[in-house]
């Protein structure tokens, strides 16, 4: 988001210079104080409104720090929240799962046909006999991308409705916080970062690039593969997406 705003500001500044040059005939460098004031006044007339309109029309942004679990689908009796984070916990039954899911059906905004990014931070209490997903989309749905944990391996993951594709990112340890980020470009690739460092890329089996609303901007799920309970903790989830519908 910061990079987008900087690019917009630079573009508008260049436009302001062009207007000034057209008005004055030729811009002389270095700029004198009068020239600087004219450019500043010209840009200020439309800069704030222009940036606001572009962000409103061209992006979708959602972030939650889980101030409450109201409004989320959560596994009954398998979750908790305090002032620090949320945790979801399986039972001590083999193949049992716990999850938290956001499912706003009446929004018409979120789609895999546009560029999007997601990020979060997670910690798992055990790296043995466990599987977890932190994704945009929904397991069991027609598309998703994000991160998958299989025991002590953190993976990037993508699903095209038929085949799940993964890429190994790094080995992880129990009770350690990992900041994770995925950057999705439709029909191109997904770039995966851990602690802001690029760790892997997927170019196959990307989410279905169709202009159909994705009603699941987030799913976080953990499954135990033994008769011991497993816990996943997290504090936030963020999603940013391009939008090309409004002009």
Please state, in angstroms and rounded to a whole number, the distance separating the CA atoms of residues 10 and 135.
Answer: 34
Please state, in angstroms and rounded to a whole number, the distance separating the CA atoms of residues 144 and 159.
Answer: 5
pLDDT of residue 88: 95
Task: Identify the bridge partners of residue 239 per DSSP, sorted by sequence position.
Answer: 62, 118
CA distances from 37 to 34, 41, 42 (A): 5, 6, 8
CA distances from 226 to 128, 133, 175, 223, 229 (A): 9, 17, 19, 9, 8
**CATH fold of the domain at 63-242:** Jelly Rolls (2.60.120)
For 223, the enclosing helix (H) or strand (E) is strand 218-224
3-state secondary structure of 231: strand
- The percentage of the chain sitting over the pLDDT mark of 70, rounded to a whole number, equals 86
Residue 210's pLDDT band (cuts 50, 70, 90): confident
pLDDT of residue 30: 75
Please state, in angstroms and rounded to a whole number, the distance separating the CA atoms of residues 20 and 167.
Answer: 51
Lowest mean pLDDT among 92-96, 174-178, 218-222, 241-245: 241-245
pLDDT of residue 187: 87
Work out the number of other CB atoms within 10 angstroms of the CB of residue 138: 23
pLDDT of residue 10: 56
CB neighbour list of residue 61: distance below 8 Å, 6 or more residues apart: 1, 239, 240, 241
127-162 residue pLDDT tens: 999 999 999 999 998 899 999 999 999 999 999 999
The reported pTM is 0.84
Domain spans in the chain, listed from the N-terminal domain onward = 2-57, 63-242
């Amino acid at each position: 988001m910061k990079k987008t705003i900087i690019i917009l500001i630079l573009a508008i500044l260049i436009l302001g210079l062009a207007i000034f040059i057209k008005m004055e005939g030729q811009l002389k460098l270095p700029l004198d104080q009068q020239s600087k004031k004219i450019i500043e006044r010209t840009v200020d007339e439309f800069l704030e409104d222009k940036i606001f309109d572009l962000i409103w029309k061209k992006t979708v942004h959602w972030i939650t720090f889980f101030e409450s679990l109201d409004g989320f689908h959560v596994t009954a009796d398998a979750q908790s929240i305090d002032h620090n984070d949320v945790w979801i916990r399986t039972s001590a039954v083999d193949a049992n799962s716990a999850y938290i899911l956001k499912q706003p059906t009446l929004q018409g905004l979120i789609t895999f046909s546009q560029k999007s990014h997601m990020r979060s931070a997670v910690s798992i209490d055990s790296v043995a006999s466990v599987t977890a997903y932190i994704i945009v989309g929904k397991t069991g749905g027609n598309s998703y991308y994000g991160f998958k944990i299989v025991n002590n391996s953190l993976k990037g993951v993508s699903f095209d409705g038929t085949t799940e594709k993964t890429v190994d990112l790094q080995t992880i340890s129990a009770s350690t916080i990992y900041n994770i980020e995925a950057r999705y470009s439709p029909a191109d690739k997904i770039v995966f970062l851990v602690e802001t460092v690029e760790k892997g890329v997927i170019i196959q089996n990307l989410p279905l690039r169709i202009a159909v609303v994705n009603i699941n901007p987030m799913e976080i799920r953990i499954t135990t593969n033994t008769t011991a309970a497993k816990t996943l903790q997290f504090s936030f989830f963020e999603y940013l997406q391009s939008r090309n519908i409004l002009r």
